[in-house]
Amino acid sequence: MIRWFRCTYRIPLLLLNAFVGLPILLLMLYPWTNKLTVSGERVDQWIVGLWSRIMVRIFGLKMQRFGTPLPGAVLFVANHVSWLDITVLHSQRWMGFVAKAEIEQWPIIGGIAKRSGTIYHQRGDNVSLHGVMHQMLDRLQNGKAVGVFPEGRTLSGNGIGVFHARIFQPAILADKPAQPVAIKYGAKGSAQTLMAFGAKENFFSNMLRVLGEPSRVCEVHFLEPIAPNEEGRRKMADTCRQRIVDCMAMQ
């Protein structure tokens, strides 16, 4: 009963953000906004952050940031728990994400992801992966931040999977740092499994379930960055993963 009560006031807010906030956001994501700034930040990037902060609040998340995201060209490397991860990270710092191609078709999220610089990858397609790597390298060389989920997909929330090393190659070629980011849903990560996709859940069923969840904190930990590693991308990937694992284990 309480779950449905939460939905009765969150769903109208979600629709308002989708049908009023989203068109405004998309209007502000045209090239002419690149030259305008708000508080030292580009207008298009600022509006993405504002929309994302509203979005996560609608889902009952109270953001807490630990550490400081690096400025400029950085490869942000995060654990992957929920479809909300991109919005959570955008609420803290603008970055162009690498994401699976299916997200482009998702309602609400797909529209903002496409216009806010998401690089789409068709999983299992080596030609697509080559194009993704080229776009990542180009963005890093041009001073832009890129966000990736090296696990490649969301898991159950019970642990962190192996980090695919290839995704770190653009940072090495561009000579740019990688900064690990640990996302913890609930105090000290107590709600990871609740936010993750459940068995046989699709996007809509997960969204409705999460929308009815009680309000909780969401911790975003920007950890110690890692310089391009002379030992190669595998070492860089393993170091990023270990720092996130260590952060998740902190009580």
Amino acid sitting at position 35: K
Strands 41-42 and 37-38: antiparallel
Q: Which pLDDT score, from 0 to 100, does residue 131 have? A: 77
Pick from 69, 112, 62: which is nearest to 87 by CA?
112
Q: Is the pLDDT of residue 109 over 70?
A: no
Average pLDDT, the chain: 86
Q: Is residue 45 pLDDT above 70, yes or no?
A: yes
Calculate what percentage of the chain has a pLDDT beyond 90.
57
Cα of first residue to Cα of last residue in the chain, in angstroms, is 32
The confidence band for 250, taking pLDDT boundaries of 50, 70 and 90, is confident
State CA 138 to chain mean position distance. Answer: 20
User: In 3D, which of 90, 86, 232 has the Cα closest to residue 171?
Assistant: 232
DSSP characters over 21-52: IHHHHHHTTSGGGGG-EETTEEHHHHHHHHHH
What percent of the chain shows pLDDT beyond 70? 86
**Which two structure tokens, joined as six digits, stand for 228?**
């391009």
Element (H, E) at 239: helix 233-249
Phi, psi (degrees; rounded to nearest 5) at 121: -125, 130
Burial degree of 208 (CB within 10 A; 0-12, 13-18, 19+): middle
pTM for this model (two decimals): 0.89
- The answer to whether residue 38 scores a pLDDT higher than 80 is no
Task: Identify each DSSP E strand in the chain by its residue range.
Answer: 37-38, 41-42, 61-66, 75-78, 96-100, 119-121, 146-148, 178-185, 216-222
DSSP class of residue 159 equals S
Among the residue ranges 18-22, 134-138, 151-155, 210-214, the one predicted with the least confidence is: 18-22
Q: Are residues 86 and 109 in contact, defined by beta-carbon separation less than 8 angstroms?
A: yes
